[in-house]
Amino acid sequence: MLVAATLLAAAFPQDEPEMKVSLKQCVHLSLNHNESLEVARFGPWIENETLLGSYGIFDWTLFAEGSSRGSASAPTSILSPSRSTAQSYEMGIRRLFPSGLLAEVRASSSRNKNDLFFTSINPSWNDRIGLTLSMPLLRGTGEEINTLTLVTARLNREMAVDEFETALQESIFAVQTAYYELAFARESEAMADEGLANARQLARESRQRFDKGLIAKVQVTEADAQVAAEELNVHAARQAHLDAMDRLKRLVDPRLLSLDRDTRLVPVDGPMDFEGGAGFDERAETARGVERAVDTRADVRRARRAVHAQELIRRGAEDRLKPKLDVSVGAGYQGTSGNFHDASRELGDRDTYDYAFAFTFEIPLENRKAESDARAAELDRRRLDAARRDLEGRVLVEIREAARRIKTQERSLLSAREGARLAAERLAAEQSRFREGLTTTYFVNVAQTAQLQARVRELRARIDYSLAHLNFARVTGRLLTDLGIDVKSELGPRR
């Protein structure tokens, strides 16, 4: 192993900075620098602004209006003025309440003047202040209907958070997978270097034995051919190592991909191991995983919220099928006089008042648009509900497959470990026989190749066993919980 480590160190330029990283450090770095996560973070923020904007339908509105008119014409009778002027000014405040009630308080002042000599008050000022209430009784009535936009926006924001949580979990799982794949590639390259060193050692021993006349020339040729084959394996392992490193860098922090000073990542955490025994309880863990996934998997929650949001849209569409019946009542005090001061004083006395009642009724003879919208909304709700059931079925299959994979990898790891042990014994026996002149370089090369492949298979089994456990945590929705990651604290964009 010392020779392999030396060769591995020599394969990298010495001026490249080395960065030893644990799996936990890689996950932490990805939370702050992964570009895909940064893109996903904006979804909840945008939906949050949309939610805040949806409250605007219940905002107070202050309004003001003013006008001034005048006319001059030839009189047609003694009752028609030849000259007249009128000014009107009013202001007020209104608000729509969740029940559908529209309340409006309005204050107005107007001045009228003409040249009719028999007008009792000329010019005349009229000041008024009043309250008007309008309420729908059929279409558009009730808090449930009038807050549909608000509730739907809230659901959309929650669904955006669910989408981000799904993206966060998938990103972290990708980081964990890339980390273990880098560990595998790094160890595989070290093993390839060790295999090359062993092949060169065997080639040297073969030449020495040939020079002493102990073996034939063909055995030296076989040893040299094995060296060439091992060199090819080293080049392939080197490329796989660099590719795995780049994939992890992109997920962890793209700045590590700088060509000016390429940072070399060195994993310090090894894969999980299994020593035998009872191991993973497939049946019990599957049952617990299914129960947990129903409540914790973000995609399942999002599917349910989508059905709920569409149900609200359907209710709104059905409400538009109803006839329209709105009633309004209003009352106010007014004052009229020849000047503004006296008109305002009369208004304050509240001796003069007015009131009004009105209703509006509409029933569409053909309401094809509303009927079509209602049917489409119901069909869309049924489609989303079917998609939810399909997702829950797929979740069950994913959990069962993930649990089954863990048990399979337990058995594979034990078999691979035993295979590596037997391959090492076979190699030791062949090397001993070669030194005693009882075998040829061919069989030593075969044993060395088999031993190296067995070690790689054992390492691959350990990596796959680790990834199987991580995948089970992912499909059951507890990957983030196991890492202690709070989704809410990760929502804010980093840049």
Does residue 109 have a pLDDT over 50?
yes
Contact 340, 127 (CB under 8 A): yes
Say what the pLDDT of residue 78 is. 59
Q: Would you say residue 370 lies in a domain? A: no
Share of the chain above pLDDT 70, in %: 93
- Name the more confident of 464 and 351: 464
Residue 246's alpha-carbon distances to 14, 262, 392, in angstroms, are 18, 10, 36
The whole-number average pLDDT for the span 334-343 is 81
Contact 195, 236 (CB under 8 A): no
Say what the pLDDT of residue 80 is. 65
Q: How confident is the model at residue 75 (pLDDT cuts 50, 70, 90)?
A: low
Share of the chain above pLDDT 90, in %: 67
Contact 324, 136 (CB under 8 A): yes
User: Token pair of 208, please?
Assistant: 């020495």
Total residue length of the chain: 495
Say what the pLDDT of residue 7 is. 40
Q: For strand 264-267 and strand 18-21, is the pairing parallel, antiparallel, or unpaired?
A: parallel
Say what the pLDDT of residue 414 is. 94
Does residue 305 have a pLDDT over 90?
yes
Q: Would you say residue 137 lies in a domain? A: no
Q: For strand 324-337 and strand 353-362, is the pairing parallel, antiparallel, or unpaired?
A: antiparallel
CA atoms within 13 A of residue 63's CA, in its CB half-sphere: 13
User: Token pair of 449, please?
Assistant: 């190749």
The whole-number average pLDDT for the span 198-224 is 89
Average pLDDT for the chain: 89
Q: Would you say residue 324 lies in a domain? A: no
CA dihedral 271, 274, 278, 280 (to 10 degrees): 20
Query: Which residues are CB-neighbours of 353 under 8 A, at least 6 positions away?
Result: 331, 332, 333, 334
Q: What type of residue sits at position 65?
A: E
Does residue 137 have a pLDDT over 90?
yes
159: number of Cβ within 10 Å: 22
Q: How confident is the model at residue 364 (pLDDT cuts 50, 70, 90)?
A: confident
The parent domain of residue 456 ranges over 2-53+149-311+377-490
Decide: residue 405, CB within 10 A, 0-12 exposed, 13-18 middle, 19+ buried. buried
Say what the pLDDT of residue 345 is. 83
Q: Would you say residue 175 lies in a domain? A: yes
How far apart, in whole angstroms, are the C-alpha atoms of residue 374 and residue 317?
5
How far apart, in whole angstroms, are the C-alpha atoms of residue 152 and residue 150?
5
How far apart, in whole angstroms, are the C-alpha atoms of residue 447 and residue 21?
35
Q: What is the CATH number of the domain that holds 265?
A: 1.20.1600.10
Say what the pLDDT of residue 1 is. 37
The whole-number average pLDDT for the span 166-177 is 95
Report DSSP state, residue 272. Answer: P
Contact 445, 368 (CB under 8 A): no
Hey, what long-range contacts does 282-285 have (CB within 8 A, 24 or more apart)? 282/403, 282/404, 282/406, 282/407, 285/403, 285/472
Does residue 5 have a pLDDT over 50?
no
Decide: residue 468, CB within 10 A, 0-12 exposed, 13-18 middle, 19+ buried. buried
Helices (H), 130-147: 143-146
Q: Would you say residue 329 lies in a domain? A: no
Contact 132, 179 (CB under 8 A): no
Q: Would you say residue 424 lies in a domain? A: yes
Residue 466's alpha-carbon distances to 98, 207, 457, in angstroms, are 54, 44, 14
The pLDDT tens digits for 90-102 are 999 999 999 999 9
Does residue 198 have a pLDDT over 70?
yes
Q: Would you say residue 215 lies in a domain? A: yes
Using alpha carbons, select from 485, 412, 155 the residue that is nearest to residue 302. 155
Q: Would you say residue 108 lies in a domain? A: no
How many structural domains is the chain composed of? 1
Say what the pLDDT of residue 261 is. 65
